[in-house]
Structure formats: structure tokens, C-alpha cells
Amino acid sequence: MKIVCFFNEDWEEGYVKERLAGHEITFLKGSTSDHADFREESAEILSVFVNSPVGKTELEHFPNLKHIATRSTGYDHIDRAIARDRAITISSVPAYGENTVAEFAFGLLLTVSRKLYECIKKVQDEGLFSQVGLRGFDLKGKTIGILGTGRIGAHMIRMAKGFGMNVIAFDVYPNEALARELGFSYVSQDELFATSDVISFHLPYNKDTHHLLNTTNIHKLKKGSVVINTARGGLIETEALAMGLREGILAGVGLDVLEEEAFVEDETRLLFSPHPSEASLKTTLANHYLIEHPRAIIAPHNAFNTDEAIRRILDTTVENIKAFALGEPKNIVPPPTA
Ligand code: NAI
């Protein structure tokens, strides 16, 4: 089949080519935004990573598209409604090692709780071997609230238990067997917000989860709590984090994802985009506040990024493409209902 693959690293091209021999593949290094004018009338399959938005404009460039194989668990970078209306199926990588993202989330938490970044800076940049300003806090005995007890959330719970933390969780589909096995309890979202010392997000981003934590409910959080987000930026209203840090509600935040993260490196794209919304501009400003804030640890959407996980992601994507080509698609993302 005719495939267009937007890839990130040189070795990926050979890896995929070898495993999809017999298919005609066009490889483009970078994201769909980096190749905004690229069109391919006859492309049937598109393979993208989360840095590639696939919306109305991008889809118009591939009029014969039948399938999108995203090399990610999340699929909020793809306009599923347009794909559904054009009978384009989408496959994703539902699991490539829940430990990979959970380990990073815990790393962010430890970086905040023990000021690891400041410790390293003190020695490396300032040449000082002093503990001044570096006092942190214990995790043992603290309460961590896990939003979303799916694959990654469950692994996060296992690790939190290993650290001697009390675990509470919220999920629209509570898994009571898991709660018994791992020894945690489900509470309401409000109770989780009000009683957690640490809140960690492990939910998909969609219209129901948009701004789950926002400028209205940030005041309900326990004073001095920590927010960790490795799921998607849009789950949290960026302004709420800025407000929380400024008003002392939040002791710190550890984020691997930001709202409008596509514009962080290249804000001129937002400035010159035909209709930059007021909300996008406001979020970009709030992102600046966070990036420069001493109590905010921000990573560049890197939680998935281990040698082992990248290979598992590519292997599953290759299997997804092969399965689609054989007429037996698998790992299909459900189309939106509304
Ligand atoms: P999963 O599908 O195994 O678990 C998600 C859980 O969220 C499920 O238990 C589901 O019932 C629950 N949920 C869904 N909607 C909810 C709502 N409105 N309220 C409460 N609970 C709700 O997903 P998994 O594998 O644990 O991944 C979680 C998220 O992590 C992904 O959606 C993705 O956005 C993000 N992710 C981030 C990566 C990174 O590099 N930063 C890499 C991989 C995933």
C-alpha cells in the first residue's frame, strides 16, 4: 500500500522500511507542521507521532487516505470526527510498557519533592557544595491521588506503594479488583483534590476531561500540594497552575506535557497562524510563566522516550499497518460518538 510516514530519527526509516518491505513508503523527517505544504493524492496510510497534528487541513492533503497509524497511545492530535466522516480508521499503540511513563512521572515527583534539579544546578552551575535552599519533603506517609487507574496509573500506584505512600484514586470506571490487589481506595474527584498531597494525572484527553483541573477548582486543592502531569496538557487549565503556584496552593508542579505545547518552541507559528485564538495566546503566556517558575519542573513530552519503548512503539505500529493492509485491522481507536 502507499504509505506516508512522518518520522523523527534517522534510524527509524530503515527500521520501518525493512519490516514493511513490499509497501511503497514516503518518509518525511519531522512533523506534519514541518511539511505543511506536502500533499500526496494516492497515499492510503499515514503514520504519525504526537508532534504531528492531523486536522482538517492536513487531511485535505491526503484525499485517498484510508488509515492513520499513530505511533502513540493518545490520539488527541488527530481530528477523529473528520476521520470518521471520511471513513478513515485510526490505529494506536494502546500499550508499550506502562512502566515507561509511570517511571518518568515518579521521576518528576522526586525532582519536585527533593529539589533534584536545584541540587544539580547548585553543584554544576554555581560550583557550591551547600544544602542551602535545598530542603525537600518525604513521600512516605503522604497521600497521592491518582486520576485514571488504567495501565500507567496502576503502575504509578505500585511505585507509590513502594514508597510507603497512601493511595487514593478516581476513575470513571473504578477497578475494584485492582484496588483490593494494590491496596488503595476510590474516592470522588472532589475528595481526591481536597485531600491529596500529590495529584498525578493518567487520563486520556477528550471533551469530558478538558480542564479537569481549572481556575475554579484549583482553590479546592490541599494547600501545599504537588501536581504531576504526564498525560496531556489540556487536562489542566494552564492558568490554574500559574494561579496555584502564585497563591501558594501548589508547592510545586512536574509537567511532561503542556497545553499548546506545539507552540512552545516556535511561537511565531501561533502569531502568524490565520486565526490565533485568544485562549491559545493566553495559554502561551501562562506557559511562559510556568517555564520560568522556580517551583515548576517542565519536561518536553519525554515520558515515553526510552530505547525499549521506542522499539515497542514502532513494532506495534508496523503490526497495525500490516493488519490493516490484510483487511484485519487491530488496535483501532473508537470513532467519536458525537
Ligand atoms: P488507559 O486507557 O490504560 O487508562 C486511562 C484510564 O482513565 C482508564 O482507567 C479510564 O477509565 C480512565 N478515564 C477515562 N476518562 C475518564 C474520566 N473522564 N474521568 C476519570 N477517569 C477516566 O491509558 P494509559 O495507557 O494509562 O495512558 C493514560 C494517558 O497517558 C494517555 O491517554 C496518554 O494521553 C498519556 N500518555 C502520555 C505519554 C507521554 O509521553 N507523556 C505516553 C503515553 C501515554
For residue 272, what pLDDT band results from cuts at 50, 70 and 90? confident
Angle at 258 between CA 257 and CA 264, to 5 degrees: 115
Question: Does the pLDDT of residue 158 top 80, yes or no?
Answer: yes
Ligand 1, atom 9: nearest CA belongs to which residue?
Answer: 150
Dist. CA 174 → ligand 1 center (Å): 13
d(CA 76, CA 90): 11
- 169-178 pLDDT per residue, tens: 999 999 999 9
| Cβ atoms of 221 and 199 closer than 8 Å | yes
Give the pLDDT band (50/70/90) at residue 265. confident
What is the per-residue pLDDT for 254? 98
Ligand 1 atom with least separation from CA of 232 = 34
pLDDT of residue 113: 98
58 is catalytic: no
Share of the chain above pLDDT 90, in %: 91
The answer, yes or no, to whether any atom of ligand 1 lies below 6 A from the CB of 284, is no
Q: Which ligand 1 atom is the nearest neighbour of the CA of 209?
A: 18
Query: Helices marked H in the chain — which ranges?
Result: 10-19, 56-60, 80-85, 98-113, 116-124, 151-162, 176-182, 189-195, 238-246, 267-271, 278-292, 307-325
How many CB atoms are closer than 10 A to CB 160?
25
Angle, CA of 22, 325 and 91, to the nearest 5°: 120
Our answer on whether the CB atom of 212 is closer than 6 Å to any ligand 1 atom is no
Residue 257 beta carbon below 6 angstroms from any ligand 1 atom:
yes
151 lines ligand 1 (CB under 6 A): yes
Active site residue 118: no
Determine whether 141 is exposed, middle or buried from the number of CB atoms within 10 Å of its CB (0-12, 13-18, 19+). exposed
Supply the DSSP symbol for 2.
Answer: E
- Say which of 103, 191, 267, 319 is annotated catalytic: 267
User: Which atom of ligand 1 lies closest to the CA of 94?
Assistant: 25
Q: For residue 17, what are the CA distances in angstroms to 28, 36, 70, 122, 164?
A: 13, 23, 17, 46, 46
Please provide the size of the chain in residues: 338
Nearest atom of ligand 1 to the alpha carbon of 175: 9
Query: Which residues, at least 6 apart from 166, have a Cβ–Cβ distance to it below 8 Å?
Result: 141, 142, 143, 144
How confident is residue 278, by pLDDT bands cut at 50, 70 and 90?
A: confident
Mean residue pLDDT across the chain: 96
CA distance 49 to 8: 8
Catalytic residue among 80, 155, 202, 301: 301
- What pLDDT shows up at residue 30? 96
Give this prediction's pTM. Answer: 0.92
* pLDDT of 270 over the 80 cut: no
Q: Dump pLDDT digits (tens) for 5-60.
A: 999 999 999 999 999 999 999 999 999 999 999 999 999 999 999 999 999 999 99
Cα atoms found within 13 Å of the Cα of residue 60, Cβ hemisphere only:
5
Cα(192)–Cα(175) distance, integer angstroms: 16
User: Ligand 1 mean position to 50 CA, how many Å?
Assistant: 15
Q: Which is it for the CA torsion 279, 280, 281, 284, positive or negative? A: positive
- Which letter does DSSP use for residue 264 in this model? S
In the chain, % of residues over pLDDT 70: 100
pLDDT digits (tens, 9 = 90+) for 319-336: 999 999 999 999 999 999
232 is catalytic: yes
